[in-house]
Structure 1
Amino acid sequence: MKLSHPLLLVWVALMLLLVSTVVASQNLTGPFSLAVNLTIAFAKAALIYWFYMHLRQESGLARLAALAAGGWLAILFLFLSLDYVTR
């Protein structure tokens, strides 16, 4: 079986990132664990955005809207964490 379809290759990459998430969560501790897991999560989100949401085929405005949505979500999580830390 030849793996030539891009979506199938992305799916394989996502499964490998899933395995690396499980391995990292069981073996790593401390702030290094957080950095590794956030990097893996960002890589998975980027693959999903780029391939499954077809942003590589869209115009600049659609890419900008998706980037703005991700940025807005990051701002909301930042405010949520600041509220949690101050209470």
Structure 2
Amino acid sequence: MSSEHHDPSNVTNPEHAEHRIVQPGTYIAVYVSLLVLTGLTVAAAFVDLHILNPILAVGIACIKGTIVILFFMHVIFQSKLIKMTVAAGFFTFLILIGMTLSDYVSRAWGLW
């Protein structure tokens, strides 16, 4: 391989960047946080918050999804372009959930 084609900063091929090795303690912390959030979801299901129940459940699910995306998919170690792409997809997901919840809230339940 000649030195004229060598790109140490991986500008031309960012997918060939150096891989990070994640310590087991990080995965254990992520696992425990996901278990705690799952327990919080179950506990919230037994509390009657009326209209806030689905909003709280979706909020907790978004937090858990963010943790999974960041650590299990290794997005936290990626370039800004990949982070922005993932954030745009997550933002689109939040818009769709918000529109669904606004439809759910605006219905006249039991009045027809």
**How many residue pairs are counted as aligned between the two chains?**
83
Could you list the runs of 5+ residues in structure 1 that have no partner in the other structure? Answer: none
Query: Larger helix proportion, structure 1 or 2?
Result: 1
TM-score scaled by length of structure 2? 0.60
Name whichever of 68-77 and 48-57 sits farther off: 68-77
1:21-50, Cα deviation, whole Å (9 max, x unpaired): 111112233123233222211211111111
Measure how far apart 1:9 and its partner are: 0.9
Larger CA Rg, structure 1 vs 2: 2
Q: Return the alpha-carbon distance in structure 1 between the equivalents of residues 29 and 52 of structure 2.
A: 28
* Counterparts of 1:76 and 1:53, CA distance in 2: 22
Secondary structure at 1:5's aligned position in 2? helix
1:53 alignment counterpart: 73
TM-score, L = length of structure 1: 0.74
Task: State, as a whole percentage, how many aligned pairs show the same letter.
Answer: 24
Quickly say closer, same or farther: Cα 1:19–1:79, change in 2 above 3 A: closer
Tell whether 2:83 aligns with 1:43.
no
CA RMSD of aligned residues (A): 2.5
The 1-side partners of 2:102 and 2:47 are apart by 28
Aligned partner of 2:37 among 9, 14, 17: 17
User: Equivalent residue for 1:34?
Assistant: 54
Residue in structure 2 matching 1:67, options 73, 87, 98: 87
Greater RCO (CA < 8 Å, at least 6 residues apart)? 1
